[in-house]
């Protein structure tokens, strides 16, 4: 009886070890950005499609209250964006921040799982006069939330990578550019660490690939080949894809600024499925699917990036729907990124949920479990 008790205890310990081993892999939250949607799709239909495809999070560029309401009583996490046009008014008066919250948060929270608010987006590319107003606006939204008794919604702002840092390669040499660094980024990072918020950044390997003709296409598309890697000459770290290179450039810049422990959320990434001009022959649906498939596999593997084993804490694919033709006049606005058709079905045969384990790792764990059980019973 004692021998059986010992073997049973050993068996329980081994199975617990296997279970913990299989669950220790940290994977980021995978979501989508909704900026445009078909005029024929109701908010309820959109929310149902997101839930049906097991998408864990949604970033709403234009947080229509009806769309926020449609996600009530679901497990989908919402990141609400405040447009740049409101930044000055939010900075000038906290009551304006309260008005925005009473329209977009108070009627729905916590039935709708609102987790974060981004005050402004890509202000460094849109307007120079927003820099002075951004942090006061963020603070006013943050304080107004606390005055309402809401403390679980984080507040930040979204930046695009290319105008933000001096260089994306090598990642070890990346820094936030001046004078934006001392004037805006350092104070913002101080606030984010104090408030337990995340740094939000748009990372589009396609844009960097277009700017640098030395980048191998396969490296940008997560394709493994004898040429699809780059070594950082300073650290000796080998990078297998452009996404990790760009993420680590952000992490390096944050470390130089003295804030290496703030979580990073990639608020936009993707690959266009149609071009803005005839010269963009690499903007097509085949390459878009290759990028997304590689991205999802990489994120779900839990390996993180070379500089941070936990990787980023969240990634939002850009974007759920293509822009309807006729919206906007610039060439860039003609470029399409949508992963869903107007009828709310996915363009690609991809699993957008956060659960993933390769067949090889599944087989390894099964063999390991059987082997240990046999040993425990001998």
Considering the domain architecture, whether residues 94 and 16 belong to the same structural domain is answered as no
Considering the domain architecture, whether residues 17 and 87 belong to the same structural domain is answered as no
- Tell me whether residue 7 is exposed, middle or buried, using C-beta atoms within 10 angstroms of its C-beta: 0 to 12, 13 to 18, 19 or more: middle
Contact between residue 313 and residue 29 where contact means Cβ atoms under 8 Å apart: yes
Domain count, the chain: 2
**pTM to 2 decimals?**
0.87
Q: Residue-wise pLDDT tens for the chain (378 aa)?
A: 443 344 544 444 444 444 444 444 578 999 999 999 899 999 999 999 999 999 999 999 999 999 999 999 999 999 999 999 999 999 999 999 999 999 999 999 999 999 999 999 999 887 768 999 999 999 999 999 999 999 999 999 999 998 899 988 999 999 999 888 999 999 999 999 999 999 999 999 999 999 998 999 999 999 988 878 999 999 999 999 999 999 999 999 999 999 999 999 999 999 999 998 988 999 999 999 999 999 999 999 999 999 999 999 999 999 999 988 665 545 556 799 999 999 999 999 999 997 544 433 444 444 444 444 444 445
Considering the domain architecture, whether residues 285 and 376 belong to the same structural domain is answered as no
CATH number at residue 208: 3.20.20.80
Q: Which of 137, 139, 117 is nearest to 68 (CA)?
A: 117
Contact between residue 339 and residue 347 where contact means Cβ atoms under 8 Å apart: yes
Note the pLDDT of residue 24.
43
Considering the domain architecture, whether residues 280 and 335 belong to the same structural domain is answered as yes
Q: Which helix (H) or strand (E) holds 341?
A: none
Considering the domain architecture, whether residues 76 and 11 belong to the same structural domain is answered as no
Considering the domain architecture, whether residues 325 and 377 belong to the same structural domain is answered as no
Considering the domain architecture, whether residues 75 and 220 belong to the same structural domain is answered as yes
Please, what is the Cα angle at 310 between 142 and 261, to 5 degrees?
45
Considering the domain architecture, whether residues 137 and 226 belong to the same structural domain is answered as yes
Backbone angles phi, psi at 142, to 5 degrees: -60, -50
Contact between residue 159 and residue 228 where contact means Cβ atoms under 8 Å apart: no
* Residue ranges making up the domain that contains 279: 28-355
Considering the domain architecture, whether residues 252 and 376 belong to the same structural domain is answered as no
Contact between residue 60 and residue 99 where contact means Cβ atoms under 8 Å apart: no
In 61-126, beta strands by DSSP E? 77-82, 113-121
Note the pLDDT of residue 228.
86
Considering the domain architecture, whether residues 314 and 371 belong to the same structural domain is answered as no
Q: From CA 367, how far away is CA 360, in angstroms rounded? A: 11
Contact between residue 221 and residue 287 where contact means Cβ atoms under 8 Å apart: yes
Considering the domain architecture, whether residues 317 and 373 belong to the same structural domain is answered as no
Considering the domain architecture, whether residues 225 and 335 belong to the same structural domain is answered as yes
């Amino acid at each position: 009886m004692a021998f059986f008790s010992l073997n049973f205890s050993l068996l329980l310990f081994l199975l617990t070890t296997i279970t913990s081993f299989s669950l220790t892999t940290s994977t980021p939250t995978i979501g989508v950005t909704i900026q445009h949607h078909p005029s024929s799709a109701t908010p309820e239909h959109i929310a149902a499609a997101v839930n049906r495809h097991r998408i864990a999070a949604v970033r709403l560029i234009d947080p229509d209250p009806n769309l926020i309401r449609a996600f009530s009583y679901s497990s989908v996490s919402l990141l609400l964006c405040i447009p740049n046009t409101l930044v000055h008014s939010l900075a000038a008066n906290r009551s304006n921040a309260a008005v925005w919250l009473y329209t977009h948060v108070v009627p729905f929270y916590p039935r709708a799982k609102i987790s974060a608010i981004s005050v402004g987006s890509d202000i460094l590319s849109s307007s120079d006069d927003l820099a002075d107003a951004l942090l006061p606006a963020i603070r006013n939204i943050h304080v107004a939330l606390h005055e309402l008794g809401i403390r679980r919604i984080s507040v930040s702002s979204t930046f695009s990578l290319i105008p933000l840092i001096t260089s994306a390669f090598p990642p070890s040499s990346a820094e936030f550019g001046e004078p934006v660094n001392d004037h805006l980024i350092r104070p913002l990072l101080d606030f984010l660490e104090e408030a337990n918020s995340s740094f939000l950044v748009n990372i589009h390997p396609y844009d960097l690939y277009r700017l640098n003709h030395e980048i191998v296409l396969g490296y940008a598309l997560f394709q493994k080949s004898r040429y699809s890697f780059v070594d950082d000459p300073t650290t000796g770290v080998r990078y297998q894809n452009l996404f990790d290179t760009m993420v680590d450039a952000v992490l390096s810049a944050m470390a130089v600024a003295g804030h290496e422990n703030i979580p990073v959320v990639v608020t936009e990434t993707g690959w266009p499925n149609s071009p803005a001009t005839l010269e963009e022959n690499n903007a097509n649906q085949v390459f878009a699917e290759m990028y997304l498939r590689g991205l999802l596999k990489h994120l779900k593997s839990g390996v993180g990036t070379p500089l941070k084993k936990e990787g980023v804490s969240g990634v939002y694919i850009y974007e759920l729907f293509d822009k309807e033709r006729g919206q906007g006049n610039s060439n860039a606005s003609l470029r399409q990124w949508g992963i869903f058709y107007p009828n709310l079905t996915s363009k690609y045969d991809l699993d957008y949920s956060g659960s993933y384990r390769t067949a090889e790792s599944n087989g390894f764990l099964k063999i390991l479990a059987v082997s240990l059980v046999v040993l425990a019973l001998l």
